[in-house]
């Protein structure tokens, strides 16, 4: 059986022969139809993710995939280490999958779940978004950020959604997907801070989903702070999700003392187990339903599994997810 394998952290996955998959008790071995290359997998392989130290090298790569069961159904399922989802076959445990609607393409079905579930939890669990609230998505031109914009608008009922990112063309497309306002990040980051401060003054921001962190986050957090002792209180839940612009920031203490900014994180260790238990039976069916109805969308670039090394390093357009097909 062929699968994507890394020999060392920081290396590039290669398509290699690996031992055949063994069916779990009551389950089956299913043929993989598509597996997406996601940011979390890139970070795990690079050794920069907090979960990287758990990898036992050499390691197979891939957290989840679209597979076809023996009865013909196409389903989404996760991989159980040491197996990896970027492979020809994957073991599927009984009941540990979500069925994919007939009208949904394999590549899109593989690209959607990780990003959509992350965005869902950021909005629902960490952000606690309520209908009518103002949501700002920092890093909205990436795959997960774009889905967060769409979900905030079309599922969680946000009253005003601000999309912030670098790619001007992608920002324009997000207006069609639900964003009420867009802000482009330019070379002068102080302009980002000024724009967010003006937005926050005009319509207070209730939730920030931050997919990039680093210097842009410093500007946004600074813009949420107040300079007046008599400033009105407003709670802003700032949800840190990704770190595409940097892993650290400098945060003046006055920002947290002068305003109702509440810092939270969104990741595997910050969501309770009972919330994760809803993913397969509840959240993913809802997400696939929104996708089937055209409410959600994600762009993909399909590559063969045999070319995983090339696909891993080749540049992709902002907001496009690479999907491997055996």
Whole-number Å distance between alpha carbons of 174 and 220: 20
For the stretch 266-283, pLDDT in tens is: 987 888 888 889 999 999
pLDDT in tens, 158-173: 999 999 999 999 999 9
With 0-12 / 13-18 / 19 or more C-beta atoms within 10 angstroms meaning exposed / middle / buried, residue 200 is buried
Give domain limits for the chain. 2-99+296-325, 115-270
The span from the CA of 147 to the CA of 34, in Å, is: 20
Equal CATH topology for 2-99+296-325 and 115-270: no
- Domain 2-99+296-325 falls in which CATH fold? Quinone Oxidoreductase; Chain A, domain 1 (3.90.180)
Q: What is the pLDDT of residues 60-110, one digit of tens each?
A: 999 999 999 999 999 999 998 888 999 999 999 999 999 999 989 999 999
Mean pLDDT computed over every residue of the chain:
94
Q: Are 86 and 305 in contact (CB under 8 A)?
A: yes
Residues 27 and 106: their CA atoms lie apart, in Å, by 22
Architecture in CATH for domain 115-270:
3-Layer(aba) Sandwich (3.40)
């Amino acid at each position: 059986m062929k699968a994507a394998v890394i020999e060392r952290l920081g290396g590039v996955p290669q398509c290699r022969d690996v031992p055949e998959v063994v069916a779990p008790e009551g389950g089956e071995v299913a043929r993989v139809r598509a597996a997406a290359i996601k940011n979390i997998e890139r970070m795990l392989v690079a050794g920069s993710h907090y979960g990287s130290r758990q990898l036992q090298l050499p390691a197979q790569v891939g957290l989840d995939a679209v597979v076809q069961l023996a009865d013909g159904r196409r389903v989404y399922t996760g991989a159980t280490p040491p197996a990896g989802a970027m492979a020809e076959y994957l073991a599927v445990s009984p009941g540990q999958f979500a069925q994919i609607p007939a009208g949904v393409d394999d590549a899109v079905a593989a690209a959607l779940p990780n990003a959509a579930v992350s965005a869902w939890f950021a909005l629902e669990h960490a952000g606690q978004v309520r209908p009518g609230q103002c949501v700002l998505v920092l890093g909205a031109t990436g795959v997960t950020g774009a889905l967060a914009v769409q979900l905030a608008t079309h599922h969680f009922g946000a009253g005003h959604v601000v999309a912030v990112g670098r790619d001007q063309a992608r920002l324009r497309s997000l207006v069609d997907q639900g964003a009420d306002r867009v802000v482009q990040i330019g070379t002068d980051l102080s302009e980002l801070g000024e724009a967010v401060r003006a937005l926050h003054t005009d319509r207070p921001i209730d939730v920030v989903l931050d997919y990039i962190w680093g210097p842009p986050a410093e500007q946004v957090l600074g813009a949420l702070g107040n300079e007046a002792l008599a400033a009105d209180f407003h709670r802003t839940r700032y949800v840190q999700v990704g770190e595409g612009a940097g892993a650290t920031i400098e945060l003046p203490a006055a920002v947290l003392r002068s305003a109702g900014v509440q810092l939270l994180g969104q990741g595997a260790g910050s969501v309770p187990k009972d919330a994760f238990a809803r993913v397969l039976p509840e959240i993913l069916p809802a997400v696939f339903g929104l996708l089937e109805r055209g409410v959600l969308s994600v762009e993909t670039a399909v590559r063969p599994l045999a070319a995983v090394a090339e696909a891993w390093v080749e540049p992709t357009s902002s907001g496009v997810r690479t999907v491997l097909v055996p």
